[in-house]
Amino acid sequence: MTPTQLRAFAATVRLGSVKAAAADLDVSEAAVSMHVAHLRKELGDKLFTRAASGLAFTPGGLRLASRAIEMLGLQDRTVLEVSQAGAGRRLLRLATSSLFAEHAAPGLIELFAGRAADLNVELSVHNPQRFGTLLVTRAVDAAIGPRPATLEEPMSCTTFLNYQVLAVVGTGHPLVSGRVGLPELRAQTWLLGPSAVGRIGMVPTVLRRINVPEENQRIFQSHAAAIEEAKHGKGVALAVAFAVAKDLAAGDLHQVVTPVLPARGSWNILTLPDRDAPPVAAELRRFVTTPRATQAMLKGSGVTAGRFRPAVHVTLWS
């Protein structure tokens, strides 16, 4: 098996046809068919047959598709590691949820990267539903965010930091005093950060519990921007408790007392098992559970550009 053959087959599985795979790889359909034919001959399996509804894959074909993605991801990772070793640098590619990226990642990265002069950290923000795929394909080395409903095998998941989510409003807002019922909450304008998009995570869970209509939700490019709007009386914001502690103490924000809030969540780190994970990812998984890491996440002051090189991709409307 060659990487070219595996890429042709993986594209055929992903896109559902030889024609689409050829277009995606910018090669001819004959070339894709030839690569698939070589795999069929070598493995002694048809891999797939053509049906009225498209392609019907054999059990062996589906197993090969899974392995092909892993092998190609490992190849890309190896090329990257060799290149970095030649330059005397290491790179940790970290995927996180938007809530963690904004509130806790800077302090963690500052402390973790500061322990090694040869380490760069690249942060990218993703929907937590994609964490498993990103790890298996070696697109990232570790992922931090809410615990997935189901864990892909093999996968390591470690809970390391609990937090609370509050509903907050600015001074003068009608909800400042008194206990607020769910019907009144639903009628409010909700000021939200990017973590409100999607199904996984504490913020989407709270919105479902309250059953906030979509037309009452306003989503901003950052959670800080949403909270700033709340300070000016524009609506109700959901905030991580430790991130707004000073604003609450100063009276710039006020906690809304509701039947479903505060809500408790946790952040988790996901990696491949130690035998498959890059050493720096396994090191981070151990490091995040230490008291020093916890304090850094709660009180971190940010990082320098030389240490932290983010490649942040937030999709709001997918």
CATH of the domain at 41: 1.10.10.10
Does residue 307 fall inside a structural domain?
no
User: Would you state the structure tokens that stand for residue 263, as one six-digit string?
Assistant: 């809500």
Quick one: pLDDT at residue 209? 92
Specify if 313 maps to a domain: no
Question: For the residues 90-110, what does the mean pLDDT come to?
Answer: 90
| 128-140 pLDDT tens trace | 888 988 888 888 8
Nearest to 114 by CA among 138, 92, 134: 92
Q: What percent of the chain has pLDDT over 90?
A: 38
pLDDT given for residue 313 in this prediction: 40
Domain check: are 193 and 56 in the same one?
A: no
- Give the rounded distance of the alpha carbon of 15 from its chain centre: 24
Structural domain including 122 reads 88-161+266-299
At residue 92 the predicted structure's pLDDT band, cuts being 50, 70 and 90, is confident
Q: 53-67, 237-251, 278-292, 294-308: which has the minimum mean pLDDT?
A: 294-308
Burial 211-243 (b: 16+ CB within 10 A, else e): ebeeebeebbeebbebbbbbbeebbbbbbbeeb
pLDDT in tens, 113-172: 888 778 888 888 888 888 988 888 888 899 999 988 776 667 889 999 999 999 999 998
Show the tokens assigned to 288. Answer: 């995040």
Backbone angles phi, psi at 159, to 5 degrees: -80, 130
Q: What is the pTM of this model?
A: 0.69
- Does residue 52 sit within a domain? yes
Split at pLDDT 50, 70, 90, the class of 302 is very low
Are 253 and 275 in a shared domain?
no
> Which residue is associated with the tokens 């932290």?
308
Same domain, 242 and 112: no
* Domain tally, the chain: 3
The pLDDT > 70 percentage for the chain reads 90
pLDDT at 259 over 50: yes
